[in-house]
Amino acid sequence: MNNQDKDNKKKEDNIESSPFKPDPETLHTTDPQEHMKGPVSSSVQKTKENVEKNDEQSKKEAEQKKEKNM
């Protein structure tokens, strides 16, 4: 067994023995918060969506301004 396998085994053992286990639907995802439910997670998701929407609008405005100046 190499060091990486040992480290992965230790992580798995820690998760299994921990009294605070992650929800199964949040494991092995790039953004576990997308799958969480509850008042805090819902608020975070709404905020994230608004930020992404505002970011898209800002990028469009910047592109339009850049085209105008050319």
35-53 pLDDT per residue, tens = 677 788 788 888 989 999 9
Residue reference for tokens 């605070």: 20
pLDDT at position 3, please? Answer: 64
DSSP state for residue 27 in the 8-state scheme: T
In 1-70, DSSP assigns E strands to none
Residues 7 and 25 grouped into a single domain: yes
Residues 70 and 42 grouped into a single domain: yes
DSSP state for residue 23 in the 8-state scheme: P
Residue reference for tokens 């709404």: 46
Residues 41 and 20 grouped into a single domain: no
Residues 27 and 54 grouped into a single domain: no
Number of domains within the chain: 2
Residues 66 and 42 grouped into a single domain: yes
Better-predicted residue by pLDDT, 25 or 61: 61
14-25 pLDDT per residue, tens = 656 667 776 777
| Residue 10 domain boundaries | 1-35
Residues 50 and 27 grouped into a single domain: no
Cα-Cα-Cα-Cα dihedral sign, residues 9, 11, 12, 18: positive
Question: What is the pTM for the complete model shown?
Answer: 0.45
